[in-house]
Chains A and B, each alone.
Chain A
Amino acid sequence: MLPELGQFALILALLLAGLQAFFGIAGPMLGRDRWLAAVVPAVAGQAVMVATAVGCLIASFVSNDFSVSYVAGNSNSALPLFYRVTALWGAHEGSLLLWILLLAAWTVAVAIGSARLPPRFAARVLGVLGVVSFGFLLFTLATSNPFARLDPPMPDGRDLNPILQDPALAIHPPILYTGYVGFAVAFAFACAAMLEGRLDQTWARWTRPWTTAAWAFLTCGIALGSFWAYYELGWGGFWFWDPVENASFMPWLVGTALVHSLAVTEKRGLFKSWTLLLAILTFSLSMLGTFLVRSGVLVSVHSFAADPARGIFILAFLVVMIGGALSLYAWRAPLLKSSAGFELGARESFLLFNNVLLITAATTVFAGTMAPLISDALKLGTVSVGPPYFNPTFLLSMLPLTALLSVGIHSSWKRGRLRDSQRTLLITLVAAAVIACALVYGIYAHGHVLTPVGALLGVWIILSSLAEPLSRWRRGLRVPRGMLGMTIAHSGLGVLVIALTAVQSFTLEHDVALAPGATTTVGSYAFRFDGVQAIEGPNYDGVGATVTVSRGGAPVAVLKPQKRQYWVQHQATTETAIRMDHGNNILVALGEDLGAGRWSLRVQIRPLVSFIWLAALIMAIGGAVAASDRRYRNSKVAEAAAPGAAEGSAA
């Protein structure tokens, strides 16, 4: 009964999304203002229906209804309740439903938040979001129905993949998707502006908080994925340039450019076409990411089960959405000229360089990710692309970017007046150099040629970002939220650069075969293998080892790596033991039983690796703080530039 209800709810949601799209776009276009009133109810109705469908699916999981094919494929009666719920997004159909749910949530938020916007414009934004919802709902119902039934039902499920039975996995997809989907809002704002034929600084101010919020979520989502891969896979890797990782990283890079481009558009009415294009591009990359993992065109350890039929559907959807947006762009963008000017050393210049470098970085990642496809299509044979390609080429754009950040942050709008900041620039640079050298050569004796460069750039970013707020604070001036958010986010980036430099330069790794009682030394740590014993868990059993770690003779930690065998899927996993000590991560993983009590072990020391995710969190917090700036919520400041605004604006 419940699955049928869920499916019915989805069909209703589809219809409501269609109405939302129709009334939202056709209403303003044809001047039928009465149709505008139907849009928000359609939004609400769609959200309720989608939530109902999700609720039905969760209920099916919790009640172990194995007549539902999706539940049978991803759950099991022995699966703990927590994972039975999070199994909802464990595979393709359910994760699509999550996408749709989050899109509905964002749409409701936009509907509420745009109460003060001109009604026609708001209707257009919601209408475009309706088109996206409609497409995804249609895709789900047509090719990926989560409520499909099994007849006869299976006696018990195939269990959730053991890799996914982890708390981090409970939050990684929802947060990541919240970010992905959030950029649909920027996309909708852009399309609405193009449909209206007008785009001004007010429009930028409306769009900014939504975009920054989506960006913050995406930052967290990507960081969580990396964090989870590190702790769960336990081999010390946190970024593999895997196609699915890249699929989330490309929108992030372009989204960052968008956030900055919007600043210029809001401040000076410049970069309008850039901003439009970036908004379209960010969402396109989101959609492309969805396509890549579900269509089977790329082989990746992350991919969902591939089906060309799905690939064709998504491709068609892409063509309609992105092709439509780009057509609008080609039509409207030429009309968005501005006669504002700025000097070479002005803030606008630096933000332009920022845009270009981020887009170049995204292009690089794109080229590497799509290379197998492109090479195949152009009949150039198979090509393999991995970290040896991505690492150096990505650095090519990032080195100038991080350096320019520390300079550009002192420049003023319109006229750079960098000469006035010369002293600050010099002080921050010298201080950064001193600190960087102290860190690199004081604590560690060795490293790459890039190690001091990386340390310098990272520290310089932090010092440069703090310069202005500190000076304001000393003069007793308020630091507005926008500036505070910017400072926090940029400092986060600086921390990230430092952490990455440390990890890449100073990681130590050693594979050994040890008998019980034997010791091995890695770096300044000694590892003594104390033997193994049998272990058992709720749905697994296996072997656990004990390893005592000491530094300079004093014991630091006792690590217990495990090898588990999950019963239902007959799958073996390795649980690496990880401990923090003085900013270093110590990792021990259990290898193979070599007989006679000897086991192979992998031991790693990774300095500052936890700061990578801390940095991402700092950046996201910065984004959240910036997005909460009062001026976005202050309706008094709202300049009613749109013709329909008179009826719509609040006091």
Chain B
Amino acid sequence: MRRRGTVLRMLVVATTIAGALLTLRAWAVDPTELPDPRLQARYLALTHELRCMQCQNETLADSPVELAADLRHHVRDLLLQGKSDDEVRAWMVARYGDFILFRPRFSPRTAWLWLAPGVALLIGAGVCWRIVRGRAALVDADREPVAGDDTEAQDTRG
């Protein structure tokens, strides 16, 4: 009985993922044209930075599922109502949470993520500094000839 339950569960998971793949295959073409070119530009920008909640690795602009089409419609309507980009984003986040934004917002909860690359770079620079300083001090005392390996630049002069 328990084995059947596991198989069923796996089947459900597999179908869901297969379903997600299925819908991924036919991407969407969105020929929506808003009357004002500036609104159109904002529409394109927004639909490209909002996530499709069903095919979660695609943007609203590219996803072929009906939910994405519905949400694109909502973006269009909100823009025509005169809402700002931030208001559109807030509208989406109020219903679907932060996950709908492709660019994680900089908040105390995501600060570690945005700061990680810079911090890593600084730590790396520090490591380099320490190592190079240490090795530079040893250069004059190091009398060993550089191995004669004819591939890279030779220490042949002097």
Chains A and B in contact, CB within 8 Å: yes
Given A343-B139, A413-B154: A301 and B55 interface contact (C-beta under 8 Å)? yes
The reply on B121 being an interface residue by CB < 8 A is yes
The reply on B142 being an interface residue by CB < 8 A is yes
Name the CB-closest residue of A to B51: A384
Q: Which residue in A347, A367, A590 is a CB contact (below 8 Å) of B153?
A: A347
CB pair A364–B57 under 8 Å, yes or no, is no
CB pair B18–A367 under 8 Å, yes or no, is no
What separation, in Å, do the CA atoms of A298 and B102 have in the docked complex? 16
Q: Which residue in A296, A363, A412 is a CB contact (below 8 Å) of B154?
A: A412
CB pair B157–A300 under 8 Å, yes or no, is no
The reply on A389 being an interface residue by CB < 8 A is yes
Which residues, 320 to 352 on A, are CB-close (under 8 Å) to B? 339-344, 347-349, 352
Q: Which residue in B13, B99, B135 is a CB contact (below 8 Å) of A384?
A: B99
Which residues, 130 to 172 on A, are CB-close (under 8 Å) to B? 161-163
The reply on B30 being an interface residue by CB < 8 A is yes
Residues on B with beta carbons closer than 8 Å to the beta carbon of A352: 128, 131-132
Q: Which residue in B22, B121, B128 is a CB contact (below 8 Å) of A397?
A: B121
CB pair A357–B113 under 8 Å, yes or no, is no
The reply on A602 being an interface residue by CB < 8 A is yes
The reply on B35 being an interface residue by CB < 8 A is no
Residues on A with beta carbons closer than 8 Å to the beta carbon of B28: 591
Q: Which residue in B103, B132, B140, B149 is a CB contact (below 8 Å) of A388?
A: B103
What separation, in Å, do the CA atoms of A601 and B10 have in the docked complex? 38
The reply on B31 being an interface residue by CB < 8 A is yes
CB pair B27–A574 under 8 Å, yes or no, is yes
The reply on B37 being an interface residue by CB < 8 A is no
What separation, in Å, do the CA atoms of A412 and B146 have in the docked complex? 10
CB pair A343–B136 under 8 Å, yes or no, is yes
Interface size on A, residues (CB 8 A): 89
CB pair A383–B104 under 8 Å, yes or no, is yes
CB pair A468–B120 under 8 Å, yes or no, is no
The reply on A8 being an interface residue by CB < 8 A is no
The reply on A242 being an interface residue by CB < 8 A is yes
| Min CB–CB distance B80 → chain A (angstroms) | 19
Segment at the B interface, from A185-193, A303-311, A614-622:
A303-311
What separation, in Å, do the CA atoms of A202 and B16 have in the docked complex? 52
Residues on B with beta carbons closer than 8 Å to the beta carbon of A415: 139, 155
CB pair B31–A591 under 8 Å, yes or no, is yes
What separation, in Å, do the CA atoms of A300 and B20 have in the docked complex? 9
Which residues, 104 to 134 on B, are CB-close (under 8 Å) to A? 104, 109-110, 113-114, 116-118, 120-121, 124-125, 127-128, 131-132
Residues on A with beta carbons closer than 8 Å to the beta carbon of B10: 305, 307
The reply on B86 being an interface residue by CB < 8 A is no
What separation, in Å, do the CA atoms of A301 and B55 have in the docked complex? 8
Residues on B with beta carbons closer than 8 Å to the beta carbon of A303: 17
CB pair A574–B25 under 8 Å, yes or no, is yes
The reply on B97 being an interface residue by CB < 8 A is yes
Given A307-B10, A397-B121, A571-B25: A268 and B139 interface contact (C-beta under 8 Å)? no
CB pair A468–B153 under 8 Å, yes or no, is yes
CB pair A340–B135 under 8 Å, yes or no, is yes
The reply on B1 being an interface residue by CB < 8 A is no
CB pair A601–B138 under 8 Å, yes or no, is no
The reply on B24 being an interface residue by CB < 8 A is yes
Residues on B with beta carbons closer than 8 Å to the beta carbon of A235: 27, 62
Which residues, 79 to 110 on B, are CB-close (under 8 Å) to A? 97-104, 109-110
The reply on A483 being an interface residue by CB < 8 A is yes
What separation, in Å, do the CA atoms of A343 and B136 have in the docked complex? 5
Residues on B with beta carbons closer than 8 Å to the beta carbon of A388: 49, 102-103
The reply on A199 being an interface residue by CB < 8 A is no
Given A413-B152, A482-B152: A384 and B26 interface contact (C-beta under 8 Å)? no
Closest 10 CB pairs of A and B: A591-B29, A341-B138, A482-B151, A388-B103, A341-B139, A305-B14, A356-B124, A386-B102, A513-B31, A341-B142
- List residues of A whose CB falls within 8 A of some B CB: 161-163, 201, 233-235, 240, 242, 263, 266-268, 270, 296, 299-301, 303, 305-307, 339-344, 347-349, 352-353, 356-357, 359-360, 363-364, 367-368, 371, 375, 380-389, 393, 396-397, 410-415, 417, 420, 468, 480-483, 486, 511-513, 563, 569, 571-574, 589-592, 594, 600-602, 629, 631
The 14 listed contacts between A and B (C-beta, < 8 Å) are A242-B57, A341-B137, A341-B138, A349-B128, A352-B131, A363-B117, A375-B110, A384-B98, A384-B102, A413-B146, A483-B152, A486-B152, A571-B22, A601-B29
